[in-house]
């Protein structure tokens, strides 16, 4: 469950791998900064700004929760395909804040657009470009229902803009990832790079998430940046496909946030071809990298689940449909009984069988095979003849546990990722606002 600190020194990793603090590279056209608005009253950075000097194509996906943060309708009403900036605050969700919360975003947009316009006027070419309020989008995470601290944030905007920098080494990316954390215990970063033609295509990303994690999108914020010139519509399609088996395949506690957001930005710095589409080999190569990156970040969120000690993979195979496989996988993964059994290192496979049955999906018990790790625990409608409780207990001590459900009813499969429930989860959430 722990991340090897030696990986901070690993600059050779170019492909996303859980547990690797990769050497995220700067993305041409992106400037970023973080600062403390003292929202946590302890001096930690809690405000982050991402600025695109030449604008950026973008696509975003939000929570399907019917109650949302005020920033979501603001962003959705923008109707911009090219934006100049993203402002992120922690500690306060700006949800259930009514008129005050909505007006706060207006206030921040007006002030930030003015400050960024002044910055534009001071560029080396001596030309000025107006940054409009609709050029800006927002993200928030934190406590629901508390008055939004607009004055605290507004007061720090000028200093935040002054801190913007275009040079981003590994530690600076980690600093940015830390600035968007709430109950997270570690920053979450990932990087992919590919060669298309003679061009180096880079994808750098950060995320936060620890509790209130369940599809759609979990309780998470994730921001992905690439230098590849991809239009907003194609970015949206690629993001939806990448999220399906990553951010929408994880659960910590089955609770869904009001603030979920994953956004991808293209600074358009590197052309990858004319009139690109999903059928282009360049785009397909980019999509593979994007999917790997999203899955890496999603797994990092699960590993950092509130109070979690064990990472759990639930793989349902040979289902009659994708929907059936998905329902069964999450029925198991979201079961408190199953998750506490894993926490107690108890190979109580009856709780897995229970989870399969309560899913509402039709299964044939006589065909069903259940594996924990490489051990078959149940098949042909009963406990396996090879079942060895002692060996299973030894396996349950591992930090990473895998469950496989073979339904033998079809050809579809789905894998989801979760973690155990510990007493620490209760402690964290009982004390969340203190």
Q: Which of the residues are catalytic?
A: 219
Compute φ and ψ for 100, nearest 5 degrees.
-60, -45
- Give dist(CA 23, CA 8) in Å, integer: 8
Q: How many residues does the chain have?
A: 434
- CA-wise closest residue to 55 among 33, 85, 79: 85
Give the whole-angstrom CA distance, residue 147 versus residue 94: 7
Both tokens of 41, joined, read 């009253």
Do residues 32 and 230 touch, judged by C-beta distance below 8 A?
Answer: no
- Omega into 99 within 30° of 0, i.e. cis? no
Q: Which residues contact 292 (CB under 8 A, 6 or more apart)?
A: 15, 16, 192
Of the candidates 289, 229, 231, 301, the one whose C-alpha atom is nearest the C-alpha of residue 262 is: 301
Angle at 148 between CA 144 and CA 154, to 5 degrees: 145
Q: What angle do CA 8, 10, 16 make, to 5 degrees?
A: 95
Distances, alpha carbon 397 to alpha carbons 59, 187, 333, in Å: 41, 26, 18
Cα distance between residue 238 and residue 170, in whole Å:
26
Helix axes 322-333, 336-343, angle to 10 degrees: 60
């Amino acid at each position: 469950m722990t991340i090897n600190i030696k990986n901070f020194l690993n600059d050779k990793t170019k492909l996303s791998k859980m547990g690797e603090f990769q050497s995220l590279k700067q993305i041409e056209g992106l400037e970023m900064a973080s600062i403390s608005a003292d929202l946590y009253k302890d001096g930690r950075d809690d405000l982050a700004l991402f600025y695109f000097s030449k604008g950026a194509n973008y696509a975003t996906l939000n929570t399907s929760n019917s109650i949302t943060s005020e920033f979501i309708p603001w962003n959705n009403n923008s109707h911009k395909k090219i934006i100049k900036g993203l402002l992120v605050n922690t500690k306060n969700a700006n949800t259930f804040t009514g008129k005050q919360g909505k007006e706060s975003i207006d206030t921040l947009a007006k002030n930030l657009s003015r400050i960024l316009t002044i910055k534009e006027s001071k560029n080396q070419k001596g030309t000025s470009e107006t940054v409009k309020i609709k050029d800006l989008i927002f993200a928030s995470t934190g406590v629901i229902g508390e008055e939004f601290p607009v004055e605290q944030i507004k007061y720090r905007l000028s200093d935040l803009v002054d801190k913007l920098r275009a040079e981003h080494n590994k530690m600076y990316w980690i600093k940015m990832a830390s600035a968007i954390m709430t109950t997270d215990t570690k920053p979450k970063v990932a990087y992919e790079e590919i060669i298309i033609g003679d061009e180096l295509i880079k994808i750098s990303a950060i995320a936060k998430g620890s509790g209130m994690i369940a599809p759609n999108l979990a309780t998470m914020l994730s921001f992905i940046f690439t230098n590849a010139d991809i239009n907003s519509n194609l970015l949206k399609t690629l993001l939806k496909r990448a999220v399906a088996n990553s951010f929408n395949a994880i659960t910590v506690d089955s609770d869904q946030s009001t603030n979920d957001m994953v956004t991808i930005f293209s600074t358009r710095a590197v052309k990858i071809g004319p009139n690109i589409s999903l059928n282009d080999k360049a785009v397909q190569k980019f999509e593979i990298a994007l999917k790997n990156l999203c899955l890496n970040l999603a797994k990092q969120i699960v590993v950092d689940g509130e109070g979690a000690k064990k990472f759990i993979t639930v793989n349902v195979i040979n289902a009659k449909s994708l929907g059936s496989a998905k329902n069964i996988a999450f029925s198991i993964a979201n079961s408190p009984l199953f998750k506490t059994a894993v926490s107690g290192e108890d190979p109580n496979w009856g709780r897995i069988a229970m989870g399969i049955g309560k899913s509402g999906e039709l299964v044939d018990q006589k065909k069903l095979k259940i594996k924990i790790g490489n051990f078959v625990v149940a098949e042909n409608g009963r406990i396996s003849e090879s079942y060895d409780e002692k060996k299973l207990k030894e396996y349950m001590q591992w930090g990473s546990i895998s469950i496989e459900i073979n339904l033998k009813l079809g050809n579809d499969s789905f894998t989801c990722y979760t973690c155990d429930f510990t007493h620490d989860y209760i402690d964290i959430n009982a004390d969340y606002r203190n």
